[in-house]
Structure 1
């Protein structure tokens, strides 16, 4: 039996026994995904029914070897939607691949029934169906991985934004407390956040507090200087606070030149310097008791 005949045989087998195949396929998935209550029987049935609809059309009008035809692209689109939805639900790659791989058992049973008494045709049909479904199963995993990577990247970007809050300490004075490692990607977020706030508030002083930065090496120092330079171009002077003894020694040892950037040991000291530069002061309105 050649590939075209296999395609017709596969199409005819599924078309003839579609209701039973669909029912058994849904039950196979329910057993495999019993721990995921968000995928109820109706959802599974709708997904499987849509897949069968396009799978039948592809195996009837196309072939089992060339999956670049429009008919098979429609099958891929269904798998893409299924993979994305399962990825977003937090399901595993195995759970996602199960959608296709669990189709084998009811399909092979139907092929055995259709090719009863003809072992050669049955073996050829099962082999071609296996190769085809394995390719489609691998595609679901590829889409799953890409979707998870996109979700992780988005979460990382959200965390970067949350970890770089720019707060207003007083009229014209901003503070940017940094916590964690300062790499190139985070520097870009830090710079954008600070510049946006400088423009929005018209501030002329910005305090970059690195108390929460565990280590400062040459690269981190360069990132800080880039941020300071960008802020100056927007009309704001910067003060770097949180210079601990260990960090001071490291900066000297590395030979890093901070230029004329003002540095302070604490955020409070930096804030006092910023107030002084703006001819501002904080006064106590009531005597201390």
Structure 2
């Protein structure tokens, strides 16, 4: 580290230690003036973020870690930037707005350093130093934001799949899964997991998979259905597939898909009749349908 850079680091460390609240307030003000938030995050939340990040920055500079590795190597500073980005992602801010919010801290820090010198060369060195310090923070915030949003999207997709594949308890020992829409590998896995769990919980003997709402059945869909049926059988239950409409029956025949080992019915009513027979003719109990 050059003498001038060491001087800038020392001056910035001192400024942060002595004027931490002032720098945090200025950073909050800059964010609000520049409208770089991209969300309705409150001023109180901004101030808490600023307090945590500026405090971590103070500790990082005092640690002696090289400036270009400070954000990635100093645990408190890395965590502060990461948590800020995740909060912005959950609040719906854009990745660009999140990065700009972090980079707005540059101006607040440079303003703090300017108060102690008027030398143009020192100011230039300070600007370069602050860029080297906070550019990695901007990059990290962008990366964490994108990863955080992807995780949120995956979790929401999982929740939507679970909501779109309910397991219905028709009566004692008889369950049904009404499927609507495309049946792909991911959704089949959710169907299978929910159905097998329900079979265990309710000690079911029959599971009806109704595909009336499935627009098309191709080889992949048929394989998914067969995997689910095989899993249900391993749990000791029988499986009935209902909703085999004429166009679907014709498609299955043309594709040469063998469903001969699976009990199928044209309508849900027919499947219910089959379920009664499979449960030794026991009549349904007088109870409301319940959803898992």
TM range (shorter): 0.7 to 0.9
Q: Secondary structure at the match of 2:241?
A: strand
Contact kept in structure 1, 2:38 and 2:93, CA below 8 Å: no
Superposed displacement of residue 28, structure 1: 0.9
* 1:162-209 Cα distance to aligned partner (Å, 9 max, x none): 111111223332211111222222212111211122222222221111
Gaps (5+ residues) in structure 2?
285-292
Mapping of residues 1-289 of structure 1, within 5 Å = 1-2=2-3, 3-15=5-17, 17-31=19-33, 32=35, 36-40=39-43, 42-62=44-64, 63-67=66-70, 72-116=74-118, 118-280=119-281
Length-normalised TM-score, structure 2: 0.86
Using a 3 Å threshold, how does the CA distance of structure 1 residues 278 and 24 change in structure 2: closer, same or farther?
closer
The one-character-per-residue Cα deviations of 1:74-128 (angstroms, maximum 9, x if unpaired) are 1111112222222222222233223311112222233334331x22222122012
Deviates more, 1:220-229 or 1:243-252: 243-252
Q: Structure 1 residues 60, 202: closer, same or farther in 2, change over 3 A?
A: closer
Alignment check: 8 A CA contact 2:56 2:76 kept = yes
Deviations 1:215-238 (A, max 9, x none): 211111111001111111112111
Quick check: 213-222 or 102-111, which moved more?
A: 102-111
For 1:153 and 1:56, how far apart are their aligned partners in 2? 36
Unaligned segments of structure 1, at least 5 residues: 284-289
Shift of 1:68: 6.9
Could you tell me how far apart the structure 2 residues matched to 1:165 and 1:67 are?
49
- 168 and 53 in structure 1: CA distance in 2 versus 1, 3 angstrom threshold: closer
Tell me the secondary structure at the aligned position of residue 139 of structure 1: helix
User: Is the 1:161–1:189 Cα contact (8 Å) retained in structure 2?
Assistant: yes
Q: Which moved more, 1:7-16 or 1:267-276?
A: 7-16
CA contact (8 A) 2:37 2:98 kept: no
User: How many residue pairs align between the two structures?
Assistant: 280
Question: Is the contact made by 1:111 and 1:126 (CA closer than 8 Å) also made in structure 2?
Answer: no
If asked which structure has higher relative contact order (CA below 8 Å, sep 6+), I would say 2
**Contact 1:183–1:220 (CA<8 Å) still a contact in 2?**
yes
Give 1:15 shift. Answer: 3.9
